[in-house]
């Protein structure tokens, strides 16, 4: 039986020990599709970016123009039919994400709203991750969105892509995550979002598809380990890796374009009950030519 590190906050230790007790130990070279950088006990948020660059000998590139979550939409391995149907504006958004501004509004299910406040108090403020608004006033809040590339210092190749989103007014971190693609055991290419946590990470693996309307739909809707879905990944005191698949937690993101405007709606559900809905209004930035 693994043991989570005792040299950390109690709530982090308890969460990690729960992963060990109810999850399973994994062999890294047999689960490469799931692996991703792990956070340290201190300094997640913005600090994690510097820590990762140092540990992997990478250079931080924060250029503001033309940086995308994907270098090419072809990384998703969509079918030709899906690619022809997919909105060209949505493609541009994923390939040039740094050229867009965001406004976010959040709508909580009233039943789960207190749990959101508890998470914010126990975890979000301290680890600088997932600072979500707790009200349902419907007011949009402007986000500062940064696509940060980590480049190999020897051959200048792109190694990591980080999407850092903070509130412009408070600079609180909403999300700080790494984005890449992976091929899950059934051979399907998925988008993978990795959010560092103390001694581990939370990883969401999203299965991409394209609707008849040209929307990009990303769903974490699997039913077992090895499928799309939500995973905790943990390193114990002996350096062993453990994972826990959260079958009851689902995530769906729909990105669409209408009248040259892009919007995204993300719905999180737990045991088929809606927990909260994110609505993003997305606007392309026009840069002055120099």
* 287 belongs to a structural domain: no
pLDDT at position 43 is 60
Q: Is the pLDDT of residue 1 over 80?
A: no
Q: What is the tally of structural domains in the chain?
A: 1
Q: Among 198, 190, 203, 271, which residue's Cα sits nearest to residue 232?
A: 203
**Torsion angle, CA of 257/261/262/266, rounded to 10 degrees?**
-100
- Please indicate, yes or no, if residue 66 is contained in any of the structural domains: yes
The answer to whether residue 137 is domain-embedded is yes
| Residue ranges making up the domain that contains 31 | 10-207+221-249
Please report whether residue 275 resides in a domain.
no
Within a domain: 22: yes
The pLDDT confidence band at residue 279, using thresholds 50, 70 and 90, is very high
- How does pLDDT run across 49-70, given as a tens digit for each residue? 999 999 999 999 877 778 999 9
Mean pLDDT, range 246-261, rounded to an integer: 93
What is the pLDDT, as a whole number, of residue 227? 97
Residue 268 domain flag: no
How many whole angstroms separate alpha carbon 134 and alpha carbon 47? 25
Question: Does the structure show a pLDDT above 80 at 222?
Answer: yes
Query: Is pLDDT above 70 for 191?
Result: yes
Task: Compute the average pLDDT of residues 238-249.
Answer: 96
CA atoms of 281 and 255, how far apart (whole Å): 10
- Asked whether residue 260 is assigned to any structural domain, the reply reads no
Find the helix or strand (DSSP H, E) in which 152 lies. strand 141-152
Top pLDDT among 46 and 99 is at 99
Evaluate whether 282 touches 262 at the Cβ level (below 8 Å).
Answer: yes
What does the pLDDT average to over 223-238? Answer: 95
User: What SS3 class is residue 99?
Assistant: helix
Extract the tokens encoding 23.
Answer: 């999850």
Band of pLDDT at residue 259, cut at 50, 70 and 90: confident
- pLDDT level of residue 74 (50, 70, 90 thresholds): very high
What pLDDT is recorded for position 137? Answer: 59
């Amino acid at each position: 039986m693994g043991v989570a590190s005792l040299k950390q906050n109690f709530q982090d230790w308890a969460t990690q020990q729960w992963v060990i007790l109810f999850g399973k130990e994994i062999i890294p070279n047999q689960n490469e599709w799931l692996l991703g950088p792990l956070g340290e006990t201190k300094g997640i948020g913005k600090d994690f970016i510097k820590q990762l660059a140092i540990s992997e000998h990478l250079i931080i590139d924060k250029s503001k123009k033309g940086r995308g979550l994907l270098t090419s939409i072809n990384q998703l391995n969509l079918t030709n039919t899906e690619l022809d149907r997919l909105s060209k504006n949505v493609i541009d958004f994923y390939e040039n994400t740094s050229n867009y501004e965001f406004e976010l509004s959040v709508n909580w299910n009233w039943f789960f709203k207190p749990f959101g406040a508890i998470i914010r108090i126990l975890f979000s403020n301290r680890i600088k991750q997932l600072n979500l608004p707790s009200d349902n006033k419907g007011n949009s809040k402007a986000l500062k969105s940064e696509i940060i590339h980590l480049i190999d210092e020897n051959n200048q190749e792109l190694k990591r892509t980080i999407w850092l989103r903070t509130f412009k007014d408070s600079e609180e971190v909403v999300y700080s995550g790494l984005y890449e693609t992976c091929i899950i055991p059934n051979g399907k290419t998925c988008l993978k979002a990795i959010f560092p946590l103390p001694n581990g990470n939370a990883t969401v693996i999203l299965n991409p598809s394209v609707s008849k309307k040209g929307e990009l739909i990303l769903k974490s809707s699997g039913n077992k380990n090895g499928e799309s879905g939500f995973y905790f990944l943990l390193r114990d005191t002996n350096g062993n890796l453990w994972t826990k698949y959260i079958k009851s937690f689902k995530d769906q993101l729909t990105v669409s374009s209408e009248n040259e405007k892009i919007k995204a709606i993300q719905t999180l559900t737990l045991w088929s009950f809606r927990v909260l809905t994110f609505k993003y209004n997305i606007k392309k930035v026009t840069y002055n030519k120099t």
